[in-house]
Amino acid sequence: MKKTSFVPAALLSVAMLLGFTSFASANSTYIIDTAGVHYYAGFQISHLGFSTMHGRFDTLSGTIKYDDAEPTNSQVSVTIKASSINTNMAKRDAHLKSPDFFNVEEFSDITFVSTKLVKMGEKTAKMTGNLTMMGVTRSITLDTTLINIGANPFSKAPTAAWSARGTIKRSDFGSKYGAPAIGDEVTLIIDIEALKQ
């Protein structure tokens, strides 16, 4: 019986392994479309038990490592500039940037890094991740929906869009000022469109 040479067999194994790995991961990196400002990071909070106050952050960036073959292996990383808070009133925004609330001079970024994705429906999932706000990191879970993935009808660029909704308690992040008159519970609304790299 003819013996197989060790070197070619090893090379073949490495080549197969590389090919398999490349096929199995099928990762696509998407970057949030900041140039086109196709994103929205908003929040809702009770104002003195009367109205619901709406606000948003105007500047954010982020990356989605999307696993086409197994979406639950995907990873999300988003950074929001806390100083970009906008509630459509300069005086209130200045107060929200102060140490009473977001303390933006001390903690300039709000970050979210996903740690786990659990598929719920065909296009929905529960995304758990670490939210760091005002220097405090807490695990939160967001309900996410894949809105669409495919070619942009105009630019033909591969594009994907997701939405995420969730609720957090700001006191968990050390923001207790004015609570409970100014609500402790904050609803998060994040909609993003991202371009494949």
Partner 1 sequence: MSDLLMNPGVQSSLIPLLSSLAIMGLIRRLPTGAHQFLGLSVLAGFLVASYVTFGLPVAVPVASGQKIVYIAIISGGLGLVAQIFLRSGRFLMLTSFFGIILSFLWIGWKKILAPVSIDHFGALLILAGCGLAAYKVLSVRHRNADDTNNNDDLVVLAVVSIAIALNAFMGDSASIAQNSGALAASLGAIILHNWIGINVQLGPVTRFVPLIILPALLAQIHYFTKANMWPLALLLLAFFTGNLAHRFVPLSIQKSRFMRPIIIGSISTIPAIASAVMSWAFLPVAASGY
Which residues in this chain contact partner 1 in the complex, by CB under 8 A?
Answer: 89-92, 94-95, 97-100, 103, 105-107, 134-136, 171, 174, 176-177, 181
Q: For residue 109, give the H/E element and its range.
A: strand 109-119
Q: What is the DSSP letter of 107?
A: -
Question: How many Cα atoms sit within 13 Å of 160 on the Cβ side?
Answer: 19
Structure tokens at 146: 């894949």
Minimum CB separation of residue 104 from partner 1 in Å reads: 8
8 Å CB contact between 95 and 103: no
Q: Which CB, 35 or 90, lies closer to partner 1?
A: 90
Q: Which CB, 95 or 196, lies closer to partner 1?
A: 95
8 Å CB contact between 141 and 116: no
Minimum CB separation of residue 178 from partner 1 in Å reads: 8
Minimum CB separation of residue 134 from partner 1 in Å reads: 6
Minimum CB separation of residue 106 from partner 1 in Å reads: 5
Query: Where does residue 150 fall: left (phi above 0), alpha (psi -120 to 50 degrees), or beta otherwise?
Result: left
Q: Which CB, 40 or 107, lies closer to partner 1?
A: 107
Q: Which CB, 94 or 147, lies closer to partner 1?
A: 94
